[in-house]
Amino acid sequence: MKKIFTCLAISLLLIGTSFAAEYKPAERVNTIGTNLLTKNGIVAKDIKFEVTSKAIDNSSFATDKTISISSDDLAYAGNDNETAAVIANELGHIIAGHGSRNKLVSSITGTTTNTRNMAGALVESYKNTKEEKEADVLAVNLMANAGYNPLAAIVVLTKQTSTYWDAIAGKPANAERALNIYDYSQYAYPNSVKSGYNCNEYKNFLTYANSVIEERKENSKTQKKLDKELKKYRKDSVSQITKFKTRGGISSWDAVYGILNSQQ
């Protein structure tokens, strides 16, 4: 009987420990976000982080110094590397000035009407994908500089639900963005890729990525085009981060938007 009670006590202790060890990304956002900023030489003073379930809009960062992080995205983060990936992506959008650029375009053209038809929707989808890729590349730089594994960005994306067509094609979720992150990481931070990332999502992604890479090897033009794109990514992303720091946390689009508003 004593043995039974002892075993029961140990079992309850283990259960309690597992619950206590449950990772809560929202509670890590401020610490990891501040680390991403400071390790990249971005002044973190007065910058606040908030976790929200609302649609993310960081277009007013230049004035309110608040970085909103999606609770939906954080749901896919299982450790500090993956939480860093979510935060770094938002920082990437802010550094690139996507929110300010979109506000500026909307103020000039008025309410967007080009998304009311199929062609317009395709253009909008392409623009969003292009912006996400730009933010992803910036995120990889920020993560690597702060000591986080940039491959975690791939894991966060591929943990998400695949589209119907991706599932049919045997692609992981967000395959295009994930492969872009992998290619850029291989180009700019090869040691990170060499070290890898120990989880099933990343292993499954590699199965897909390796098949694409093998196909590229058979087409020299495709490979040359990719090499050119990666070189440009590297040059542009490093320049964007440097200029963001020298402006005191303002993107080029924030600066333009501010000047135009002051003249009205």
66-81 confidence digits (pLDDT tens): 999 999 999 999 999 9
The reported pLDDT for the residue numbered 122 is 39
Q: What percent of the chain lies above the pLDDT cut of 70?
A: 81
Write a three-state SS string for 175-231: HHHHHHHHHHHHHHCHHHHHHCCCCHHHHHHHHHHHHHHHHHHCCHHHHHHHHHHHH
CA distances from 72 to 51, 61, 68 (A): 9, 20, 12
Chain segment 4-13, per-residue pLDDT in tens:
444 444 443 4
Q: In angstroms, how far apart are the furthest CA atoms of the chain?
A: 83
Considering the entire predicted model, what is its pTM?
0.85
pLDDT exceeds cutoff 60 at 14: no
Chain segment 193-205, per-residue pLDDT in tens:
999 999 999 999 9
The reported pLDDT for the residue numbered 17 is 38
Going by pLDDT thresholds of 50, 70 and 90, the confidence category of residue 140 is very high
The reported pLDDT for the residue numbered 255 is 78
User: Rounded distance, CA 147 to CA 104, Å?
Assistant: 35
Query: pLDDT higher for 173 or 252?
Result: 173
Chain segment 95-107, per-residue pLDDT in tens:
999 988 887 777 6
Query: pLDDT higher for 109 or 85?
Result: 85
The reported pLDDT for the residue numbered 11 is 45
- Dihedral sign, Cα of residue 227, residue 229, residue 233, residue 236: positive
Pull the structure tokens for residue 119: 């062609």
The reported pLDDT for the residue numbered 78 is 97
Query: Average pLDDT in the 58-70 region?
Result: 94
Q: Give DSSP secondary structure letters for 110-123.
A: -S--GGGSHHHHHH
